[in-house]
Structure 1
Amino acid sequence: MTTRLPFTKIIHNPTKPELVLANGHHFLVLNTSTGELIKTYPQDAKVDPVTDYYRCMSFNKDGTLLATSGENKQICVWDTQDWTVKNTKPAHKRINAVQFTSDSSEIVAADKFGDVYNHSLKDDTPVSEDKQLPILGHVSMVTDMVLSEDDKFVVTSDRDEHIRVSRYPNGYNIECFCLGHTDVVTCVSLLPWNKNILVSAGGDGVVRVWDFLKGSQIQAIDLKEQIEPYKPTAADANSKDAIISSLSFDSKNKLVAVAFAKSPAVLILAWNDDKLNYKQTIVTESPILDIAFDNEGKLWMSHDGQQLVSVYNEAFEKVDTIAEKINNTEVCQADKIFDLYTIFGLRKFLDLPENLVTAYADEAKSKKRKTNA
């Protein structure tokens, strides 16, 4: 029996009404103003074993290019005019975060082994793995990354609760650390309406606001009380507490949406008087995989459930009609769905099965050998 594969990642174009929805090793594109599909699932595709899927996606500044990376350790650059592949770059390890520089001349990519590389888009000649060196490295997995607006700094978060601010491209020059999280940091983003401010979140259920060039915390808003009624049933100690999986920003109304892994609830924070304040909770019918505000202020959600996508207007009322076409469209059919909630495994070996502990330990040893070489 086959199952429809949900949209594991979604991202909205910064300049056009287009939402990209990752589906296995394909992606669909939806017009968020009309609900019409711009890029559909391939008609000749059959049941997919889903050995590859998108781990991260990022648009360039003007939305003309989209960078994607998946399990195949390839970085692909797509032309958003016709959705053709414009460039590919080999990655050393699986990528957890990718971003274009402001002039779209380079792609910066952070991998699961804690290293960050930059790839030039001016030269199509691939650089062999033994010749390309990382611009910076962490001793634990890098979970997210963002470049400052002027490309002078790269901010990286890791599994060990650290947020590091480094010079770009000379990442060995560390500007400062933003320290305060007590569990894995899963998200780092610049505040769209003030890009001198960094917003971070993670496994401690706290959204933190930083003056990141000084390494000083401006605000910490604890959301554990608000998410408590909507926490998922714990499968082990790693999933006992809620973990923030994604953030999305509405520049029009100065709002931040906060999604939690395996939870059907999204918390809305409003930016007032230069700080974030809890505004309301949106409760959906099924667990949320990813969230994205569009340019009109509507909030889109992808789900692990019968309904693949839902959308809420600026008053946070559900709008079924605009998501109807994408929910009824053909998507990847898989015999078996991979684990959609590996984010819980980023926590520190709390009651994990012995085989997983061994695997993580082997990975750490490999990383140490690589660092000492």
Structure 2
Amino acid sequence: MASSAGLALCGQALVVRGGSRFLATSTASSDDDSVFMYDCSATEEKAPESNGEDRQPVDKGSDMILASTFSTSGSYFALTDDSKRLILFRTKPWQCLSVRAVVRRCTALTFTASEERVLVADKSGDVYSFSVLEPEGPGRLELGHLSMLLDVAVSPDDCFVLTADRDEKIRVSWAAAPHSIEAFCLGHTEFVSRIFVVPGHPELLLSSSGDGTLRLWEYRSGLQLHCCDLAGLRGPAESKDHKGLAASRITFWGQESCVAVLCDCVPAVFVFQLDADTRQLAFRQQLSFPQRVWDVVFEDARGLWVLQDCREAPLVLWRPVDGRWQPVCESAVSQRLSSRLRGDWAMLEGSVSAEDSFHSLYKATFDNMASYLRKKGERLQQQRGRKRPHSPPGPSKRARPGPQP
């Protein structure tokens, strides 16, 4: 399995991951001693807790990091890997607190706003919660879908758990009673790849899908406020197919009310402006790159960090200049961080992005009429082949009338 690369940022704490390893540093510090490195392949194996369930034997995977995130304050960091483990860290200072087994490979995770629990969504459609305050505590099943979950989020007040699945649904469940469903956000026509509660606007949700759209919702009512066709933004020559436009990242910059959507199979980043009063998204710019982009994330004080498949400049900073987003080539911070990543390039080399795993999620389409006509033609050919040729009939012999008596 190919390794994945990604970014996570909270405040000035920045994590770059690739394969089974991640590197944590600060965008403010110039001290290389402040860098923390961790390798999941060196993590001690831990047998899964029973939880009263029949568990399968531990499935040793590739140790590749599948998902990672900071808590709201940045005090904690968590990741899940291909070996079915949830690993929890304290960040001030960096320290591994626990390694816990999960039931199945996970697709997404998030902290509750209170930072008391970590919610983990897996491929079977279940969400488990794990205690942060009791780092060794077992997981607890919270809710389930009938299809694979691709993302999970929580409302800023911890009242709702939002889940996105392969079957086009976004579900809004009460956190205290997950069997009680507040609403469904319905409208996507393909799998929902990412959901994102907008910081500063706790009632708004952004979502992206394999149908090539970015949608804005009032999630408690399930009301769709706006829909942007990403394929249409690329121009007539490129807008024939929406495949490859499922976002692998949605990120928000409160300073300029900007939304950045990464569709790295293009490769491009779409930048929108959110108008909270009208609850509309206005397209501002498409950022194009000559190489693969692995991930993007906003930093409040600086702008948009871009992790790309370029050894000379793996991490670059983009900022708006006179209304147009441009790379900041002379950024001392990006040069320092890129220099550090070049020394650990083996961690990133050969990485794929999250969206590469989306190709298998698209619906298979069938032209039933064409298949019917083809099979009918084959049957007619077989029937003709089975018929024996007949000799042409001769002239009919009619009896001559005899002499009349």
| Cα distance in 2 for residues equivalent to 1:230 and 1:284 | 18
| Cα distance in 2 for residues equivalent to 1:230 and 1:290 | 26
| Cα distance in 1 for residues equivalent to 2:154 and 2:268 | 29
| Cα distance in 1 for residues equivalent to 2:254 and 2:85 | 31
| Cα distance in 2 for residues equivalent to 1:148 and 1:39 | 32
Change (3 A) 1:18 1:275: same
SS of the residue 1:262 aligns to: coil
Change (3 A) 1:7 1:162: closer
Instruction: State how 1:110-189 maps to structure 2 within 5 Å.
Output: 110-127=121-138, 134-189=141-196
The answer as to whether partners of 2:19 and 2:347 remain within 8 angstroms in 1 is no
Scaled by the length of structure 2, what TM-score is found?
A: 0.74
| Cα distance in 2 for residues equivalent to 1:231 and 1:33 | 40
For structure 2, the 5+ residue unaligned runs are 43-60, 367-405
Change (3 A) 1:336 1:244: closer
2:328 aligned residue: 319
Deviations 1:177-213 (A, max 9, x none): 1000111111101111211111111111211111111
How much does 1:32 deviate?
Answer: 2.6
Match of 1:194 among 182, 188, 201: 201
How much does 1:296 deviate?
Answer: 1.3
Match of 1:64 among 55, 67, 75: 75
Match of 2:215 among 198, 201, 208: 208
1:245 aligned residue: 248
Instruction: State how 1:249-264 maps to structure 2 within 5 Å.
Output: 249-264=252-267
Instruction: State how 1:251-290 maps to structure 2 within 5 Å.
Output: 251-272=254-275, 273-290=278-295
| Cα distance in 1 for residues equivalent to 2:137 and 2:307 | 35
| Cα distance in 2 for residues equivalent to 1:30 and 1:346 | 35
| Cα distance in 1 for residues equivalent to 2:29 and 2:288 | 24
- Which structure has more relative contact order (CA 8 Å, sep 6+)? It is 1
For structure 1, the 5+ residue unaligned runs are 352-373
1:12 equivalenced with 2:9 (yes/no): yes
| Cα distance in 1 for residues equivalent to 2:142 and 2:74 | 26
Instruction: State how 1:86-101 maps to structure 2 within 5 Å.
Output: 86-101=97-112
SS of the residue 2:320 aligns to: coil
Change (3 A) 1:62 1:334: closer
| Cα distance in 2 for residues equivalent to 1:156 and 1:30 | 31
Scaled by the length of structure 1, what TM-score is found?
A: 0.80
Moved more, 329-338 or 177-186: 329-338
1:310 aligned residue: 316
How much does 1:35 deviate?
Answer: 6.6
Instruction: State how 1:32-71 maps to structure 2 within 5 Å.
Output: 32-33=27-28, 38-39=34-35, 41=37, 51-71=62-82
2:19 aligned residue: 24
SS of the residue 2:5 aligns to: coil
Change (3 A) 1:83 1:7: farther
One-letter code aligned to 2:13 = E
| Cα distance in 1 for residues equivalent to 2:348 and 2:320 | 38
| Cα distance in 2 for residues equivalent to 1:335 and 1:105 | 32
1:331 equivalenced with 2:344 (yes/no): yes
The answer as to whether partners of 1:57 and 1:68 remain within 8 angstroms in 2 is yes
The answer as to whether partners of 1:291 and 1:300 remain within 8 angstroms in 2 is yes
Number of matched pairs = 333
| Cα distance in 2 for residues equivalent to 1:267 and 1:34 | 30
One-letter code aligned to 1:62 = S
Moved more, 329-338 or 54-63: 329-338
| Cα distance in 2 for residues equivalent to 1:350 and 1:200 | 24
Deviations 1:260-316 (A, max 9, x none): 032231110001243110011111221211110002141011123444222112332
One-letter code aligned to 1:313 = R
Change (3 A) 1:244 1:336: closer
The answer as to whether partners of 1:253 and 1:297 remain within 8 angstroms in 2 is no
One-letter code aligned to 1:190 = V
Change (3 A) 1:87 1:133: closer
Match of 2:359 among 332, 339, 344: 344
Change (3 A) 1:126 1:30: closer
Moved more, 149-158 or 332-341: 332-341
Change (3 A) 1:36 1:185: farther
Deviations 1:58-77 (A, max 9, x none): 21121111111111211112
The answer as to whether partners of 1:231 and 1:241 remain within 8 angstroms in 2 is no
Identical-residue share of aligned pairs (%): 26
1:105 aligned residue: 116
